[in-house]
A and B are shown apart, each in its own frame.
Chain A
């Protein structure tokens, strides 16, 4: 079942601008991950943030996690047309143990206009 919601559902920005996507979830988690999916393709892992971390950076990506609010945000700075894709957050519940099951959010479709 869907764990979380993402907003906005769709985001359209100009190249060079920053894009921020938010994810909310419902249960206690072990970690939260962000993935990218180009249309009709598989998922590419972007970044993982553990439940005891508050912020993480990777290149132009910045992820924050607020476990008290059960929410996370993904910021892409200086966006490029090639960043156009769907972005999903995924959570691994604490109760999943060794099963490593992920539950995906509803996704944000990002369009970066050249």
Chain B
């Protein structure tokens, strides 16, 4: 089946710094990638949808200048949390969809971000 990886799997950073999270589709071309955020014991909330080569579409309430998304290739999307604050601490999950994929989306294993 299709595999999506995320790197890093966990990261701790200090307030005010920026953190980049990578999402890669390993064996298929992801024309669309999605970024979700999940707080403890809560559901996944869609943050943004990105199509390869174009600007991401952000969900209402998500600051696009704070959460920078780049989808420069069919196998890689990055999420950069800029000027991170403790309230940005969360589990970030990406998913990918592509032509020919069996399922709607394939999910990455997630990245645990802790901002101190």
Interface residues of A (CB under 8 A from B): 1-2, 31, 33, 35, 40-45, 48, 88, 92, 99-107, 109
Residues of B within 8 A of A99 (CB): 32, 49
Cβ-defined contact, A88 with B34, below 8 A: no
Within 8 A of A (CB), among B96-114: 97, 103-110, 112
Which residues of the other chain, A, contact B72 by a CB distance below 8 angstroms?
Answer: none
Provide the residues of chain B in CB contact with A40, threshold 8 Å: 91, 110, 112
Interface size on B, residues (CB 8 A): 25
Pick the contact of B107 from A42, A48, A105, A107 — CB < 8 Å?
A42
Q: Are B32 and A42 in contact (CB under 8 A)?
A: no
- One of A1, A41, A107 near B109 (C-beta < 8 A): A41
Q: Is the C-beta of B56 less than 8 angstroms from some C-beta in chain A?
A: no
- Chain A residue numbers with a CB within 8 Å of B108 are 42
In the complex, the number of residue pairs spanning A and B with C-beta atoms less than 8 Å apart equals: 55
CB within 8 Å of A: which of B10-52? 32, 34, 41-46, 49
Extra contacts besides A88-B44, A100-B97, A100-B104 (18): CB < 8 Å = A33-B104, A40-B112, A42-B108, A43-B44, A43-B93, A44-B107, A45-B106, A45-B107, A48-B103, A92-B104, A99-B32, A101-B34, A101-B49, A102-B34, A102-B105, A104-B43, A105-B43, A107-B42
Chain A residues within 8 Å of B107, by CB: 35, 42-45
> Which residues of B are interface residues toward A (Cβ below 8 A)?
6, 32, 34, 41-46, 49, 59-60, 91, 93, 95, 97, 103-110, 112
**Quick one: which of A31, A92, A100 contacts B32, CB cutoff 8 A?**
A100
**Inside 8 A of A109's CB, which chain B residues have their CB?**
41
Say whether B110 contacts A103, CB under 8 Å. Answer: no
Residues in A with CB closer than 8 Å to B97 are 100
Chain A CB within 10 Å, residue with most, of B41, B46, B104, B112: B104
Complex Cα spacing A78 to B6, Å: 33
* A50 shortest CB reach to chain B, Å: 11
Does the CB pair B110–A41 fall under 8 Å?
yes
Kindly state the separation between the CA atoms of A100 and B103 in the bound complex, as whole angstroms. 10
